Amino acid sequence: MTIVLAHGLGGRSDLPVPLWLALYAGAAAVLASFVALTLLWKTPRLRGADAGRPLPFARVVDARATSIVLKGLGLVCLAGFLAMAWFGPDTSAANPAPAWFYVWFWVGLVPLSLLVGPVWRRMNPLRTVASLLGPARRELPDRLGYRPAVVSLLAFLWLELASGHSDSPRLIAGFVTLYAVVHVACGAVFGPRWFDRGDGFEVYAVLIAGLSPFGRRADGRLVVRSPLDGLLALGRSPGLTPLILVVLGSTAFDGLTRLPFWNDLTPSVPLATAGLAAAIALTAAAYAGGIRLTRPYLRKGTEPYTGFGHTLVPIMVGYTVAHYFSFALFEGQRGFDPAVADYTLVSTAVIALVQVGAIVLGHVLAVGSAHDRALGLLRAGYRTVGQYPLLALMVGYTAVGIALVSGA
């Protein structure tokens, strides 16, 4: 048996309510949250990186011993994974490495980052190895922005969703080895800043950590804060929007491949590659369209594409939870025994409720974040009507997301 990268429900009949009702309920929840916000939230309240109350155990978290333990754990995990992927059995039916990579690591970054913040940044074994090779030799050009992270994440998503051999332990081993060599080499040349901008997995984890109640204040102190403040703090890093749209588009493509019509097309690697690219392009085009309609209402000098980019993070996380929840529960068991997976662990009704709930909650948080941001960026007199284009975009994203996880 091989790992099947299917994260949707697999059929409309799995929903505990009719699809039309789920769509109406999801859209209504987003619209109702917007109405409530316009009535009760009249001025910007979020403080972003300046918000948060210091944590009493911050010294323990920041201690050198804690850092050594986290770095050591990251190195041990990478070494163990590569050993199993390269030298273990050559099928996912007998080798747990694919489950470790796709479920324990890729999916695991979501709950890990949500619960404890950007801890992967401290555990990242590639960052650790690069730091052992000496000081940086060159400055990372600012013009690169986050493009290296986008490219590296695209490479992973192609492997997972379009390569046709995503469950091959040897292919996974080759990808991770090449990924590690490239990023360690770049980290040795450009220093730690390379991983802040170039390592797709680390940048992705930091984005998710924006929704964590734990984070760093502008003065560097470890604090507890509102997740919406954490999101606004991400807004200080322009250039992240393309990476968010790549993840959103790839998740939409993953849901698309669960639909019956996709299998009727006799999927191939070229078709899957084109489909992945098209899904990302359409997702980005929808966002660009919403921003273009919002632009006339913005204050002069506002950069709209980056100004609202961080508000997409809750949607990205909601989609990720929806598409990977059942996959993580079932296929994650293969990380212990590749031949065993108990598919009765949870019912399809529970899976459906979690999926729809994650999408709706993500959009409600996105509406709240976008509303506060809009109050600061929109011209006086247009602070309600100016939000309509992005509200329509989020309602549309909600409907598409629910439809895709339903398998309709």
Over the stretch 139-165, which tens digit does the pLDDT of each residue have? 999 889 999 999 999 999 999 999 988
Q: How does pLDDT run across 67-110, given as a tens digit for each residue?
A: 999 999 999 999 999 999 999 999 999 999 999 999 999 999 99
With a cut of 70, say whether residue 5 has pLDDT above it.
Answer: no
| Neighbouring C-alpha atoms within 13 Å toward the C-beta of 39 | 6
pLDDT at residue 7, rounded to an integer: 39
Report which residue type is found at 341.
A
pLDDT at residue 350, rounded to an integer: 86
With a cut of 70, say whether residue 10 has pLDDT above it.
Answer: no
Helix ranges restricted to H, 88-226:
97-99, 109-116, 119-123, 125-131, 147-161, 169-190, 193-197, 200-209
With a cut of 80, say whether residue 25 has pLDDT above it.
Answer: no
Instruction: Determine the average pLDDT of the residues in 229-246.
Output: 87
Q: pLDDT band at residue 189, thresholds of 50, 70 and 90? A: very high
pTM above the 0.85 mark? Answer: yes
82-83-87 Cα angle (round to 5): 115
Higher pLDDT, 366 or 403: 366
| Residue found by looking up tokens 């068991």 in the block | 333
With a cut of 60, say whether residue 270 has pLDDT above it.
Answer: yes
- Non-local (6+) Cβ contacts of 40 within 8 A are none
Q: Is the dihedral of CA 192, 198, 204, 210 positive or negative?
A: positive
Q: pLDDT band at residue 13, thresholds of 50, 70 and 90? A: very low
Q: Which of 223-232, 296-305, 388-397 has the lowest mean pLDDT?
A: 296-305
Q: DSSP labels for 54-116?
A: E-TTHHHHTSHHHHHHHHHHHHHHHHHHHHHHHHS-SSTTT-SHHHIIIIIIIITHHHHHHHH
pLDDT at residue 18, rounded to an integer: 66
Q: Please, are residues 369 and 286 in contact by the beta-carbon 8 Å criterion? A: no
DSSP character for 354?
H
Phi, psi (rounded to 5 degrees) for 54: -55, 140
Instruction: Determine the average pLDDT of the residues in 48-71.
Output: 93
Task: Count Cβ atoms within 10 A of the Cβ of residue 93 and give its class: 0-12 exposed, 13-18 middle, 19 or more buried.
Answer: middle
Cβ atoms within 10 Å, residue 108: 17
Instruction: Determine the average pLDDT of the residues in 115-137.
Output: 94
Task: Count Cβ atoms within 10 A of the Cβ of residue 139 and give its class: 0-12 exposed, 13-18 middle, 19 or more buried.
Answer: exposed
With a cut of 60, say whether residue 14 has pLDDT above it.
Answer: no
pLDDT at residue 353, rounded to an integer: 85
Share of the chain above pLDDT 70, in %: 94
Cβ atoms within 10 Å, residue 404: 26
pLDDT at residue 275, rounded to an integer: 94
- The CA distance from 26 to 15, in Å, is 14
Q: Please, are residues 369 and 231 in contact by the beta-carbon 8 Å criterion? A: yes
The listed range with the strongest mean pLDDT (41-45, 154-158, 335-339, 343-347) is 154-158
Q: Please, are residues 93 and 1 in contact by the beta-carbon 8 Å criterion? A: yes
pLDDT at residue 303, rounded to an integer: 80
- The CA distance from 10 to 404, in Å, is 9
- The CA distance from 345 to 342, in Å, is 6
Q: Please, are residues 361 and 318 in contact by the beta-carbon 8 Å criterion? A: yes
Higher pLDDT, 376 or 22: 376
